[in-house]
A and B are shown apart, each in its own frame.
Chain A
Amino acid sequence: MPPVLRAPLVVEFPFTRSLGPVQSAFLTGLRERTVLGVRTVDGRVLVPPVEYDPVTADEIRDLVEVGATGTVTTWAWNEHPRPRQPLATPFAWVLVRLDGADTSLLHVLDAPGPDAVRTGMRVRVRWARERTGAITDIACFEPYAGEPAGPPHPHSGSFPEPVTGIVAPARLDYTCTPGRAQSRHLAALDGRRTVGERCPSCRKVYVPPRGACPTCGVATDEQVEVGPRGTVTTFCIVNIKAKGLDIEVPYVYAHIALDGAGLALHGRIGGIPYDEVRMGLRVEPVWREGSRHPDHYRPSGEPDADYDTYKELL
């Protein structure tokens, strides 16, 4: 059993999201230091506002401006802020009912410690210095001893240059471990050997192995070295240059059945003009220094394989 392999894996994606009329007004309002709510069918004021009544599902568009001051309705002290949370120093998560609102907004409260926080305490918005039309335009809440704001008053929701979309970046960090079968496969590749695994039931050899025979649903645990040579079972000619890929077009991308394998893997074919590649062509891997996989496959010089020898692997 080779040692467990590990590699960092970062999954990062910016979601570009469009805003409806209510969310657009709310987030644009934050940019302008104005907090908007929306009136539900039964007359309650929701902050943050949504576009459909959470009880009746009616479309709701009746916007009101509420205060930037409010009352904590529940809280939780976060001694160890996590990356990307709004404050880097210990803070309280809070639900805040802003003056004039009937529901609470989730945000954070900058306070010296848990003893300085309680349900019912008065707080106000601390605005971010740079505001773009996002919930983070509220940098955080802070304790506030002044007068409460008055009742909500109607607001058109119109601002110059309204924000119509947000880009929500997300990044998650993982430590990937590939599992038993793939670890064995990767360890063998390190020695430039290609090792597949045989299904104990149907005897098919999987390359690369994934740990289970998808036909029989049982573990593949017998290692079988395959190749290094193989047969082109089918191929295509690539005429579009991939971004960041240093390969001249046109080139051939092929399915290659390595000798002894029960299914084809894919790889690039080099060392032969693209228009001379054919089904049945015999190939061998070409390794580059420092690479963990064959860079490409080239003709081995053997006569073409007979169709019957690979027709089941197409």
Chain B
Amino acid sequence: MTSPAGRGTTSRARHGRDIAVVAFAQTRHSRRTDEMSEVEMLMPVLHQVLSRTGLRTGDIGFTCSGSSDYLAGRAFSFTMALDGVGAWPPISESHVEMDGAWALYEAWVKLLTGQSDTALVYAYGKSSPGELRDVLTRQLDPYYTAPLWPDSVALAALQAQALIDAGETDEPELAGVAARSRRDAAANPHAQLQGEVPRGRHLVRPLRVSDCPPIGDGAAAVVLAAGERARELCERPAWIRGMDHRIEAHGLGVRDLTRSPSTRLAAEHAGLFERPVDTAELHAPFTSQELVLRRSLDLDARVRVNPSGGALAANPVMAAGLIRIGEAASRIHSGDSDRALAHATSGPCLQHNLVAVLEGEPHAG
């Protein structure tokens, strides 16, 4: 087999097998989905992503999902979500209590082992039943941090102020990130916040309402396939050239919040710096975090950042990272991108970061 795009040698030497994102689907994300249970919200997305490849559940070699029971307060909700897959006869399946980007990572590793040729990855988050800002405090260190109930906006605001103090940004620049994201989201039919969004009051100063992601419900699904199988299922597969994730210390006061060394390291291991990318889908729920990521990844003005609008346009927790990979892959599927970066984050102030590098083959002719 010749290497796709004539550049696969490095990545094949690194990974042994070429694996691609061949299909992606997501919900129209919204503030509430009171009329739907989690599986009722997720199921149409599963059907869409399968129908795009013509695959049925029984054809899929491995299924992996990401979600958190804390969001909707429903114990073992992921087992009920599995009802939407149709897991009979019994399927090979796994779940991570993390963003679906990490479920995709697990599925990628599974495919690399050669144990299967296709994988279904999905993620969902229904934040509307609870108070998301409070819910997310429960992921923090339980001894020194969680007893203070520092909410997600407060922690991001500490990071934003550290950036401002370091002279790396100011409120107008943050406002610019917010405006660009929602403007781009106008072309994204799945986005929750689109177009002109007022900056609003300070939620936790220096962050204003418009610097923060919308809270909402949503789901997403991706199909991965290896080698020739990927070419059969997709006209222009988005080949995963590399993927890596790294985590930083949990103590916020130990970290330099103005930098993201874990993102940088993951990007190096994913091969990002071997050649420039034309597109980057960054999982930056807060405006200030996009600036940290851009600097850590050396992204300059030539790179189209978050054409989907990013997490500032829709941030269904547990799915938003997987959506970055799906959005980047979609741009490769459509020919709008030849080499794209997708990033996902987890934990407070960009604690844990995943970077994937995706490529399309050259267009015929």
Contact = CB atoms under 8 A, between A and B. Distances in A.
A77 B134 contact: no
Interface residues of B, number: 61
B148 A78 contact: no
A58 B252 CA distance: 19
Interface in A137-196: 166, 168, 170, 172-183
B252 to A, nearest CB: 5
A214 B82 contact: yes
Contacts of B159: 74
A180 B35 contact: yes
Query: Interface size bucket, A side?
Result: 35 or more
Interface string B140-151: 001111111111
B253 interface: yes
A17 B146 CA distance: 13
Given A77-B204, A79-B205, A176-B73, A212 B43 contact: yes
Which 3 A-B residue pairings sit nearest by Cβ, starting from the closest?
A217-B86, A179-B37, A104-B253
Given A210-B80, A217-B83, A17 B39 contact: no
B161 A82 contact: no
A4 B205 contact: no
Given A82-B133, A86-B148, A108-B148, A180 B36 contact: yes
B35 A4 contact: yes
Interface in B136-172: 138, 142-151, 154-155, 157-162, 165
B203 to A, nearest CB: 8
A300 interface: no
A285 interface: no
B57 interface: yes
B39 A211 contact: yes
A215 B37 CA distance: 18
B153 to A, nearest CB: 9
Contacts, number: 189
Given A79-B205, A173-B131, A179-B40, A73 B83 contact: no
Interface in A1-43: 1, 4, 6, 9, 11, 15, 17, 19, 23, 27
B108 interface: no
A216 interface: yes
A134 interface: yes
B144 A135 contact: yes
Given A6-B34, A74-B159, A179-B36, 5 more contacts: A76-B157, A76-B207, A93-B150, A174-B129, A217-B84
Interface in A200-236: 210-219
A268 interface: no
A135 B73 contact: no
Nearest to A216: B86
Contacts of B226: none
> Which of A9, A54, A177, A218 gathers the greatest number of chain B CB atoms within 10 Å?
A177
Given A6-B34, A106-B252, A179-B37, A78 B204 contact: yes
Contacts of A215: 86-88
Nearest to B161: A74
A214 B37 contact: no
A112 to B, nearest CB: 14
Contact of A177 (B35, B135, B201, B249): B35
A290 B148 CA distance: 42
B170 to A, nearest CB: 14
Interface in A46-91: 46-48, 50, 54, 73-79, 82-86
Contact of B83 (A6, A48, A212): A212
B131 A95 contact: no
A97 interface: yes
B85 interface: yes
B254 A54 contact: yes
Contacts of A218: 43, 47, 86
Nearest to B57: A217
Contact of B143 (A9, A23, A82, A172): A23
A177 B202 contact: no
A85 B83 CA distance: 38
A107 interface: yes
A105 B158 CA distance: 12
7 contacts: A76-B204, A97-B253, A135-B147, A177-B129, A178-B37, A179-B36, A181-B40
Contacts of B257: 74
Nearest to A76: B157
A93 to B, nearest CB: 5
Given A178-B37, A180-B37, A9 B73 contact: yes
Contacts of A106: 144-145, 148, 150, 158, 252-253
> Which of B40, B155, B207, B253 gathers the greatest number of chain A CB atoms within 10 Å?
B253
Contacts of B148: 85-86, 106-108, 135-136
Given A50-B251, A210-B37, A95 B158 contact: yes
A215 B88 CA distance: 5
A166 B72 CA distance: 27
Contacts of A73: 162, 253
Contacts of A108: 148
A48 B148 CA distance: 14
Nearest to B201: A79
Given A86-B148, A166-B143, A95 B129 contact: no
Contacts of A74: 158-159, 161-162, 165, 257
A136 B154 contact: no
Contact of A77 (B38, B43, B73, B202): B202
